[in-house]
């Protein structure tokens, strides 16, 4: 695959999922003592993970409306109207791509109370180009990535052979974009939020984080309070089973990237007997709390920026940095710091490049090594005073359109889901100590990961971190990339070990996820599994 094709594919994909994962860094973050604590119950009925010798307690937990139901909804007469649906496919109004079709499925807002009202889940499909064998449901990640929009890049991400055999189906999970999407800040306020900057780790940065955390939580509650308690991943997994039935499939065939692996594993936990051919690429580890996720990403992005700088220093003609890797890292961080003090001209007088924007751009570049040349050029221009390329990449990442609107609500949907799915450590002093540790050990992005963007969230977390075994689901393919900054390779190892029947494929490379960007090896194995049911050799590395 040529650099030009890979770059074009990646830029089109940013809006679908990878960029939303960047926002996790500004959302509910921290570092965790470990998932092994027992559970106790407070007098009000909320669960709290008890302190253990491994570390302090996590935040108090509420209960997901979708986790424990009295019976299988598919066999419960109370849910018959949902499971009896057929999708009325028609033209897509706001998605680009020939042959794409769109529709909706209706699901209960509150899964343990189907009489409490409905929401519509937006669905899209790219019909099979050859002899159809079934439907392949996809999720691009986030959480917050639009699966309907992801279909615009399906021709770059999914092999022609798979697209010939399957209808490729994407959907916007609940709370995302067209599916009862959460509404929070205005476009103008979102511009202000994404540009807000201060030196990470400083008192000013802590105050800024506190102010924006409160402001966003208040805005989301004001505009979307009716749906905020029901946007957890268990609820989305239940929705996915309704989608499976509406597609006429007895079992769900699934390709999930990044957060999509967490959604897929959650589905397998709830419905192991309905798991068909499952591929989980760029795996999340469901046993991790928000704090452990942050720690893994702090290290992952530090190692990724080192790989980027090592590569840059080899490109003497185009690299804006000099000296050793450590010296180059110091130069990059000095550049960020200079923009915290004085924003850079971007060509748009209303939107100069701030330190926060520049950091987000570099994080975005670390998702795909095919973008590193573009990154070098953009940084070289910026360090000479021209921030136009940085602004262009920033807007691609955040899905900001030329008219100033944002194509989706991914900036806020990610927080709405993460704050329900992942509790953090309740001990404020401990969190502050860990923030200092992250800053010291991972100087480029570690200081940005020490806070808790969920401290003001109006709904408590609903799910305790725990391994998923999905016993009885059959073979599941887990894919990990050794240089993945957003979902570190160890998470793929952990998930493949937790699952009752799984194989692990390893891509030795840089960037986030592997299928569609590994150069052939991972694609060959995954395609044979999806098309023929040939389970790859466990531990295969390429």
Give the pLDDT confidence score for residue 432 in this predicted structure.
85
Is 68 catalytic? The answer is no
Model confidence pLDDT, tens digit, residues 94-120 = 998 889 999 999 999 999 999 999 999
Q: Name the residue with higher pLDDT: 361 or 6.
A: 361
pLDDT at 449: 73
pLDDT digits (tens, 9 = 90+) for 434-478: 888 999 999 999 998 766 679 899 999 999 999 999 999 999 999
DSSP assignment of 159-184, as one string?
-HHHHHHEEEEEE--TTSTTTT----
Q: What pLDDT shows up at residue 453?
A: 76
Secondary structure of 54-108 in the HEC alphabet? CECCECCECCCCCCCCCCCHHHCHHHHHHHCCCCCCEECCCCCCCCCEEEEEEEE
Instruction: Check pLDDT > 50 for residue 233.
Output: yes
Write down the mean pLDDT value for the chain.
90
Mean pLDDT of 214-243: 98
**CATH topology assigned to domain 15-181+228-287+464-532:** Rossmann fold (3.40.50)
Look at residue 54 and tell me whether its pLDDT is greater than 90.
no
C-alpha Rg value of the chain to the nearest Å? 22
DSSP secondary structure, 468-519, as one string: ---TTS--EEEEEEEE-SSS-HHHHHHHHHHSSSEEEEEEEEESS--TTTSS
- Where residue 38 falls among pLDDT bands split at 50, 70, 90? very low
User: What's the rounded mean pLDDT across residues 522-537?
Assistant: 97
Q: Tell me whether residue 484 is one of the annotated catalytic residues.
A: yes
For residue 56, what pLDDT band results from cuts at 50, 70 and 90?
Answer: confident
pLDDT at residue 63 in the model: 94
Whether 258 is catalytic: yes
Q: Which of 224, 281, 360, 512 is catalytic?
A: 512
Q: Which of 484, 496, 518, 527 is catalytic?
A: 484
Section 230-248 average pLDDT: 98
Is pLDDT at 21 greater than 60 in this prediction?
A: no
Catalytic residue chosen out of the listed positions 258, 266, 289, 398: 258
Query: Domain limits of the chain?
Result: 15-181+228-287+464-532
Element (H or E) spanning 136, and its range? strand 134-139
What is this structure's pTM? 0.91
């Amino acid at each position: 695959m040529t650099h030009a094709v890979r770059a074009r594919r990646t830029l089109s994909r940013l809006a679908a999922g990878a960029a939303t994962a960047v926002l996790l860094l500004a959302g509910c973050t921290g570092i965790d003592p470990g998932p092994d604590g027992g559970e106790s119950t407070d007098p009000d009925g909320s669960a709290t993970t008890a302190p253990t010798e491994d570390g302090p307690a996590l935040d108090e937990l509420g209960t997901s409306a979708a986790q424990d139901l009295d019976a299988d909804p598919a066999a419960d007469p109370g849910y018959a109207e949902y499971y009896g649906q057929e999708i009325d496919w028609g033209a897509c109004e706001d998605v680009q791509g020939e042959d794409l079709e769109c529709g909706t499925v209706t699901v209960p807002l509150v899964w343990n109370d189907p009489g409490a009202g409905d929401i519509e889940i937006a669905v899209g499909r790219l019909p099979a180009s050859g002899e159809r064998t079934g439907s392949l449901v996809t999720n691009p990640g986030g959480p917050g990535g639009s699966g309907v929009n992801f279909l615009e890049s399906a021709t770059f991400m999914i092999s022609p052979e798979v697209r010939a055999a399957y209808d490729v189906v994407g959907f916007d999970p609940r709370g995302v974009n067209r599916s009862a999407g959460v509404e929070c800040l205005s476009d103008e306020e979102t511009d202000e939020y994404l540009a807000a900057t201060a030196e990470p780790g400083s008192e000013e940065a802590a105050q800024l984080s506190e102010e924006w955390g409160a402001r966003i939580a208040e805005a989301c509650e004001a505009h979307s309070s009716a749906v905020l308690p029901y946007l957890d991943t268990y609820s989305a997994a239940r929705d996915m089973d309704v989608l499976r039935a509406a597609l006429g499939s007895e079992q769900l065939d699934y390709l999930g990237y990044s957060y999509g692996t967490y959604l897929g594993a959650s589905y397998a936990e709830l419905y192991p007997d309905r798991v068909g051919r499952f591929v989980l690429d760029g795996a999340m580890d469901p046993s991790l709390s928000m704090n452990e996720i942050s720690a893994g990403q702090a290290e992952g992005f530090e190692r990724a920026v080192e790989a980027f700088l090592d590569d840059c220093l080899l490109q003497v003609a185009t690299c804006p940095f000099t000296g050793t890797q450590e010296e180059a890292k110091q130069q990059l961080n000095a550049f960020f710091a200079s923009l915290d003090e004085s924003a850079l001209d971007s060509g748009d007088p209303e939107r100069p490049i701030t330190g926060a924007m520049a950091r987000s751009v570099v994080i975005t570049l670390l998702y795909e090594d095919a973008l590193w040349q573009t990154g070098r050029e953009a940084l070289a221009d910026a360090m000479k005073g021209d921030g136009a390329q940085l602004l262009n990449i920033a807007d691609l990442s955040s899905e900001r359109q030329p008219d100033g609107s944002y194509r989706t609500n991914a900036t806020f949907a990610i927080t709405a889901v993460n704050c329900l799915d992942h509790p953090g450590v309740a001990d404020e002093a401990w969190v502050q100590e860990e923030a200092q540790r992250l800053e010291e050990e991972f100087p480029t992005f570690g200081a940005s990961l020490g806070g808790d963007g969920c401290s003001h969230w109006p709904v408590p977390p609903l799910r305790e971190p725990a391994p998923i075994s999905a016993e009885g689901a059959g073979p599941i393919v887990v894919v990990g990339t050794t240089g993945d900054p957003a979902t570190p390779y160890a998470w793929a190892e952990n998930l493949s070990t937790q699952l009752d029947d799984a194989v692990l494929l390893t891509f030795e490379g840089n960037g986030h996820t592997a299928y569609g960007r590994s150069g052939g090896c991972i694609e060959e194995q995954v395609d044979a599994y999806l098309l023929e049911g040939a389970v790859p050799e466990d531990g295969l590395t390429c």
